[in-house]
Chain A
């Protein structure tokens, strides 16, 4: 009886070892490529905002992480990618979340020139309703380009809102919450950049794992 139990246990342990070995081998065979994929996907997204000709540093590695309630909600630290040209700060791309979307957090990339004007904004991932809230995606509508060239003073603070709230930014028919959340997050980022510009570019870059972001805009409806 005991013997039978022991052989069963050993056999099961053997399966465990074989399974784990298989996973370990696959992992070591793919890890480098996966890492490269993440880097490439990230670089592609950054370059869509900051033209590769305008900077000469390794933007994907020249990053800092900011965990400051002024900028990011709890548990969503922001990452900043810094573009420099001949050592001079050129632009910063903030990876931030708008926590108050219609259906949870909206992950954004906000690119700001050193002088404080917006290069542009892109949505990286969101869970908004397809057909309504997902017009914030670049491939769905032009809306997100409404931020291009804006700054803290253009429009003035009281008009950094969707039209329904008396601002200059369009909302979508049937979806006000989504654009409102994005506008708010972009404004917050601009403000933070304005206050901490020097510090943002001066801080030592931190070696860190590349975010597991999505290269395509990601939606899911479980």
Chain B
């Protein structure tokens, strides 16, 4: 990442323009599957894969697609990719596929994917487009994992339960039981827990952002604060 452009893209994806925390896109899968860490990771990785592939393809064909058929063409590309990935998951990660179930086809409707195709990939060459897809996807994925971990820890007192569904039998050693005989905290597992958890994560991010803005202000000594990060 020597090129400053890529550093910027990466920072955007993970932090300053994070799909989940700043753009607040793709909430449906985000809220629905994050009741465990492993579910979050599974959907996050699948979304990342789609995002990288769709950014790459969109960027490759950006010069031959006329603006008037741009959107249907993109939607078609994304839909085919998602269907292919869904079939592949059903074949090779069958148990995980059963858990994520309907949320895999729903990746099509994750506006983050069409959004990146439209606002980035179509204006850039393939390499930056792939980096952008990767950064945005992993940024989204890390929020899913953190939120999933948070809800799983509070709700069931474990971390990485059912990791074997994704990585095979050996992965059972990854499962951490935080509290023995934990009776569970239902609120965290149910949908409200997802909203509250996401709210807490956004709040933490905003606090960190305003802290670092203040620090920068003090360091430069000038009164001009850097522009706050806003959703696109």
- Chain A residues within CB distance 8 Å of chain B: 4, 7-8, 11-12, 15-16, 18-20, 22-23, 26-27, 29-30, 33-34, 37, 41, 130-132, 214-216, 218, 220-222
Q: A15-B73, A33-B91 are in contact. Are A23 and B84 (CB under 8 A)?
A: yes
Question: Are A37 and B76 within 8 A (Cβ)?
Answer: no
Binary flags per residue of B94-113, CB closer than 8 Å to A gives 1, else 0: 11001101100000000000
Q: Using Cβ atoms and an 8 Å threshold, which residues of chain A touch B64?
A: 11
Q: A8-B69, A11-B73, A30-B87 are in contact. Are A221 and B95 (CB under 8 A)?
A: no
**Complex A-B: 18 CB contacts under 8 Å:** A8-B66, A12-B72, A12-B73, A15-B72, A15-B76, A19-B79, A22-B84, A23-B80, A26-B83, A26-B84, A37-B91, A131-B186, A131-B189, A214-B101, A216-B162, A218-B101, A221-B191, A222-B102
Q: Using Cβ atoms and an 8 Å threshold, which residues of chain B touch A34?
A: 87, 90-91, 94
Closest chain B residue to A125, Cβ basis: B98
Question: Are B73 and A30 within 8 A (Cβ)?
Answer: no
- Chain B residues within CB distance 8 Å of chain A: 28, 32, 64-66, 68-69, 72-73, 76-77, 79-81, 83-84, 87-88, 90-92, 94-95, 98-99, 101-102, 162, 165, 184, 186, 189-191
Question: Are B80 and A33 within 8 A (Cβ)?
Answer: no
Assembled-state Cα–Cα distance A125/B52 (Å)? 34
Assembled-state Cα–Cα distance A33/B232 (Å)? 42
Q: Using Cβ atoms and an 8 Å threshold, which residues of chain B touch A132?
A: 186
Assembled-state Cα–Cα distance A43/B10 (Å)? 46
Q: A216-B98, A218-B99, A220-B101 are in contact. Are A22 and B80 (CB under 8 A)?
A: yes
B72 to chain A, nearest CB (A): 6
A125 to chain B, nearest CB (A): 9
B75 to chain A, nearest CB (A): 10
Q: Choose from B28, B65, B66, B98 the contact partner of A214 (Cβ within 8 Å).
A: B98
Question: Are A19 and B102 within 8 A (Cβ)?
Answer: no
A217 to chain B, nearest CB (A): 9
Assembled-state Cα–Cα distance A220/B64 (Å)? 42
Assembled-state Cα–Cα distance A132/B189 (Å)? 12
Q: A218-B99, A221-B32 are in contact. Are A30 and B90 (CB under 8 A)?
A: yes
Question: Are B76 and A130 within 8 A (Cβ)?
Answer: no
Question: Are B190 and A221 within 8 A (Cβ)?
Answer: yes
Question: Are A33 and B190 within 8 A (Cβ)?
Answer: no
Report the 10 A-B pairs with minimum CB-CB distance, sorted nearest first.
Answer: A19-B80, A30-B91, A26-B84, A33-B91, A37-B94, A131-B186, A214-B98, A30-B87, A12-B69, A15-B73
Q: Using Cβ atoms and an 8 Å threshold, which residues of chain B touch A15?
A: 72-73, 76-77
Q: Using Cβ atoms and an 8 Å threshold, which residues of chain A touch B79?
A: 19
Assembled-state Cα–Cα distance A19/B75 (Å)? 10
Q: Using Cβ atoms and an 8 Å threshold, which residues of chain A touch B91?
A: 29-30, 33-34, 37
Assembled-state Cα–Cα distance A204/B210 (Å)? 72
Assembled-state Cα–Cα distance A131/B186 (Å)? 6
Q: Choose from A19, A29, A215 the contact partner of B76 (Cβ within 8 Å).
A: A19
A197 to chain B, nearest CB (A): 33
B188 to chain A, nearest CB (A): 10
Assembled-state Cα–Cα distance A215/B162 (Å)? 13
Closest chain B residue to A28, Cβ basis: B87
Assembled-state Cα–Cα distance A102/B69 (Å)? 47
Closest chain B residue to A21, Cβ basis: B80
Question: Are B76 and A218 within 8 A (Cβ)?
Answer: no
Q: Choose from B69, B77, B92, B94 the contact partner of A19 (Cβ within 8 Å).
A: B77
Q: A30-B91, A221-B32 are in contact. Are A11 and B69 (CB under 8 A)?
A: yes
B203 to chain A, nearest CB (A): 24
Question: Are A16 and B68 within 8 A (Cβ)?
Answer: no
Question: Are B76 and A220 within 8 A (Cβ)?
Answer: no
Assembled-state Cα–Cα distance A15/B72 (Å)? 9
* 11 other A-B residue contacts (CB within 8 Å) besides A27-B87, A216-B162, A222-B102: A11-B66, A12-B69, A15-B76, A16-B76, A30-B87, A33-B92, A37-B94, A130-B186, A131-B184, A131-B186, A216-B95
